[in-house]
């Protein structure tokens, strides 16, 4: 298939895209971060700042510490927790389905929530 990340970058492995210095891969990563931050900012305003947490889930949200770090860095101006590098590791290294990846000290927490789309599709299809 030649769609998605493969079409944009010539590479379909987001884990490689997220850490690459190659200009085309870096551009794709930066565009994704920009788009996510636009959504976060828009929702933040719509909710008048009344949020408890920014939650990362799904394939990229769960498995890309680089993406979470970039997004949280840009969203810090909203009072959202900044990333704790040690906590911002892969989901396999944490106990429980929800875990904190922030430094703490802010009202709005940064969390990762493990998801299982297969269960969701099976039960709610």
- Predicted local confidence at residue 49, as pLDDT: 96
State residue 95's pLDDT score.
75
Nearest residue to 100 (alpha-carbon basis) of 109, 91, 89, 90: 109
The predicted-structure confidence for 24-53, as pLDDT tens digits, reads as follows 899 999 999 999 999 999 999 999 999 999
Phi, psi torsion values for 95, nearest 5 degrees: -95, 140
Q: Say whether pTM exceeds 0.75.
A: yes
pLDDT of residue 39: 97
Least-confidence region, from 7-16, 22-31, 90-99:
90-99
Q: How many domains does the chain have?
A: 1
Question: Positive or negative CA dihedral for 115, 86, 39, 30?
Answer: negative
Residue 29's pLDDT is 94
Question: Could you identify the residue written with the tokens 């930066």?
Answer: 30
Residue 94 belongs to a domain with what CATH number? 3.30.420.40
- What percent of the chain stands above pLDDT 90? 60
Q: What is the pLDDT of residue 90?
A: 59
């Amino acid at each position: 298939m030649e769609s998605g990340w493969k079409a944009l970058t010539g590479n379909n492995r987001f884990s490689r895209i997220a850490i690459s210095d190659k200009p085309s891969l870096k551009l794709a990563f930066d565009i994704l971060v920009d788009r996510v931050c636009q959504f976060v900012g828009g929702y933040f305003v719509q909710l008048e700042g009344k949020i408890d947490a920014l939650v990362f889930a799904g394939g990229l949200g769960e498995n890309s510490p680089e993406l979470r770090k970039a997004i949280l860095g840009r969203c810090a101006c909203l009072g959202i927790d900044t990333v704790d590098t040690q906590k911002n590791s892969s989901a396999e290294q944490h106990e429980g389905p929800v875990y904190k990846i922030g430094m703490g000290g802010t009202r709005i927490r940064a969390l990762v929530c493990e998801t299982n789309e297969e269960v969701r599709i099976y039960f709610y299809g």
